[in-house]
Amino acid sequence: MVVSIDFGTHGSGYAYVVVSPHNDDPRTRDKNIVVSSGWPDSPQRTVKDLSAVVTNAAGGPVDWGYTAKYRWSDTPANRRAKAGLHGFAYAFKMALSPQPETRSVPQAEGAVDLDDEPALRVLVAGMLRRMRISALSQIRADVGEIRERDIRWCVTVPAIWSAGQRQFMREAIARAGFTDVAHVLLGVEPEVAALYCLTTPGRALDGRGANTDFTIMDGVRVVVVDCGGGTVDISAYQAQKRHGQTVLGEIGTGSIGGALGSQYVNQQFRRQVLTDRFGAEVLARWEAGPQRRLLNAMEDEWDAVKAHLSVAFGPGEPPQITSNPMLEIPAPLWAALPARVRDRLTDLADDERYLRLTSVEVQALLDRVVEPIIDLIATKLDEVRGESDGGPIVLVLVGGFANNEYLRRRVRHRFDGLALAMRPQQPREAVLRGGVHFGYAPEQIWQRRSARTYGLAQSLEFRPGIDDRQRLIIDHENVWRCTGRFKVLVTRGAPVPAQSCVVAETFPTLRNQETLELGFYWTDKTDPQYVDEADVFPLNRMLVDIRATTGLPIRQRAVRLELYFGETTIRAVAINQRTGAKAEVKMLFDPLFANIRHGSPN
């Protein structure tokens, strides 16, 4: 069995398929994938439950998903503690990001503090545990008893996440009760979505609305734009025939993206539209009081409306929103508004208890994220078009926000003639289904590009006139060495085939040295010289036991380091060249949480 878990900003879900010769064919497999649905208290049948939780006095989960949301909002504030409800959190995945603009998306009420690292760990691990248990329950109901060790799990993560954020997820996976943590795959969201698009034909649309069936074939370059609730990830791949099957290799210089998900449109609706209609003072008072749950209900209604806006478009004309949506104002809020505000709202809407948005307002709200998304796509397309031996380019939008008609039309209009826009069969399910395909056959991603330059701190031969003499040391064999040099192992943008191995040889500086400390670093530079120069950051450190060679000449005390970069995480193996002793090293990104939360680049 292969199971995929997508822990998202807005919602989380799972999908699975049975491993069998019948499902070895990707298209047959996709037809047999079971996707989660029918979550408790969901207002509609959806593949994902809400990424929300209600906590108890100890910070542990009481309820999850839509059930948590409604239980918290429907319980009066002065009765929550007696009911055992002490805190509420939503969209807490975005609390992992160091970017200041993302900090306003997660919602935390009551006793929940998303700035508290241990508390956040409990919530993330709890959500993964909940998805794991839900998946197991449905699988056992569908196919009978199954042992967890017979399941290969894939947990998806954003492409733009740092190594530290991915390690955070690995630690959360360990806390979530998975039986074989080392074999839980981390799937990169746009990457696995590309696998889904490779597996299933989609609809190709031009800027004028004409559409045809389209299948990704050998040579086609695929630019995947994963538009979720919190982030937008853009990655590029090229399809290639290898060993009788079509596989994908990453092209370009790595993923780009940003905090441009659909939740930011909702945020601007709340900040701009509700402030304009109700007044800043009234809105601030309501946000801090029991009326907040009614404001949340209005935001939910807006969220549903924005997915079904009318868009006008024509040959050569930019798409324009024509909808003037009406949102119902809850009766308690309407009654609490000053009479002059009610009169103004009635005049604007031509009806009582309604808030009317103009098409100009709606388009301005969406453009706050649509314009930057289009700029990012243009940047990635320019990069991909610069590839010397490229085939036709297909632009694929996946994720929940990909269903927004205005976004789709804007993308088609802007890039008509530069790329063929392809709509997959199930944009919302692309990551979930793709995670299953990746877990089933990871070899379908045959090559990735290094997102950064990675290297090792080493004492290399001193370069007179180049290296500062303060860095000079003399080893036990009287060789002049420069401390703190950055030995590049892989350069940013370099192609790294899956399972490829980068080898480095390193030595102690003393004959009687019993341990060798290896420090790993990363940077966006392509030719760094020292590990302590600007814009170079520590990634990991490890200690290698070299007591077996103590006293030998330094050149006989070599440690061979093998680093595997072509996977979704970095794996290291250290080998004592003299004794042959071999150990696989688990990366411990250090300092882990400080790098994530306090502004170190992703």
Same domain, 221 and 194: no
How much is the pLDDT for 384?
92
What does the angle CA 249 – CA 225 – CA 297 come to, to the nearest 5 degrees? 145
- Four-CA torsion 589, 591, 592, 597, nearest 10 degrees: -140
Quickly list DSSP for 392-432: -EEEEEESGGGG-HHHHHHHHHHHTTTSEEEE-S-GGGHHH
Least confident range of 10-14, 20-24, 189-193, 304-308: 304-308
How much is the pLDDT for 206?
58
CATH code for position 81: 3.30.420.40
How much is the pLDDT for 366?
96
How much is the pLDDT for 388?
59
CATH code for position 582: 2.60.34.10
Q: What is the pLDDT of residues 255-286, one digit of tens each?
A: 888 888 888 899 899 999 999 999 999 999 99
Same domain, 181 and 227: no
How much is the pLDDT for 598?
27
The reply to whether 2 falls in a domain is yes
Same domain, 127 and 225: no
How much is the pLDDT for 211?
66
Instruction: Report yes or no: 410 and 318 within 8 Å, Cβ to Cβ.
Output: yes
Mean pLDDT computed over 172-186: 89
Same domain, 307 and 413: yes
**Model confidence band, residue 177 (pLDDT cutoffs 50, 70, 90):** very high
**Beta carbons within 10 angstroms of residue 473's beta carbon:** 12
**Model confidence band, residue 595 (pLDDT cutoffs 50, 70, 90):** very low
How much is the pLDDT for 594?
29
Q: Look at 42 and 601; give whichever has higher pLDDT.
A: 42
The reply to whether 440 falls in a domain is no
Same domain, 469 and 517: yes
Strand order in the sheet with 495-497: 211-214, 202-205, 420-423, 393-398, 221-227, 232-242, 245-258, 445-449, 495-497
Q: What is the pLDDT of residues 514-549, one digit of tens each?
A: 888 888 999 989 999 999 999 999 888 888 888 889
Same domain, 259 and 184: no
Of the candidates 405, 423, 441, which is a domain's last residue? 423
Separation between Cα atoms, residue 361 and residue 326, nearest integer Å: 12
Of the candidates 151, 172, 199, which is a domain's last residue? 199
Q: What is the pLDDT of residues 374-397, one digit of tens each?
A: 999 999 999 998 875 778 899 999
The reply to whether 437 falls in a domain is no
Instruction: Report yes or no: 52 and 89 within 8 Å, Cβ to Cβ.
Output: yes
The reply to whether 432 falls in a domain is no
The reply to whether 445 falls in a domain is no
Q: What is the pLDDT of residues 398-408, one digit of tens each?
A: 998 988 999 99
Same domain, 173 and 213: no
Same domain, 416 and 485: no
The reply to whether 580 falls in a domain is yes
How much is the pLDDT for 44?
82
Same domain, 286 and 408: yes
Mean pLDDT computed over 413-422: 90
Instruction: Report yes or no: 378 and 208 within 8 Å, Cβ to Cβ.
Output: no
Same domain, 251 and 127: no
**Model confidence band, residue 585 (pLDDT cutoffs 50, 70, 90):** low
Of the candidates 151, 176, 199, which is a domain's last residue? 199
Selection from 571, 523, 514 nearest residue 548 by Cα? 514
Task: Report the percentage of the chain scoring pLDDT > 70.
Answer: 93
Q: What is the pLDDT of residues 128-142, one digit of tens each?
A: 999 999 999 999 999
**Model confidence band, residue 593 (pLDDT cutoffs 50, 70, 90):** very low
The reply to whether 403 falls in a domain is yes
Could you list the residue range(s) of the whole structural domain that residue 122 is in? 1-199
- For helices 163-175 and 117-143, give the axis angle rounded to 10 degrees: 60
Q: How many domains does the structure of the chain reveal? A: 3
Average pLDDT, the chain: 89
Selection from 224, 258, 262 nearest residue 366 by Cα? 262
The reply to whether 435 falls in a domain is no
Mean pLDDT computed over 341-346: 96
pLDDT at 338 over 50: yes
Same domain, 152 and 215: no
Q: Name the pTM for this structure.
A: 0.85
Q: What is the pLDDT of residues 73-113, one digit of tens each?
A: 888 888 999 999 999 999 999 888 766 666 667 888 999 99
Selection from 226, 302, 230, 234 nearest residue 260 by Cα? 230
Per the DSSP assignment, residues forming a β-bridge with 50 are 11
Separation between Cα atoms, residue 130 and residue 136, nearest integer Å: 10
CA distances (Å), 593 to each of 95, 96, 167, 519, in order?
Answer: 11, 9, 10, 18
Same domain, 244 and 319: yes
Task: Report the percentage of the chain scoring pLDDT > 90.
Answer: 59
How much is the pLDDT for 569?
67
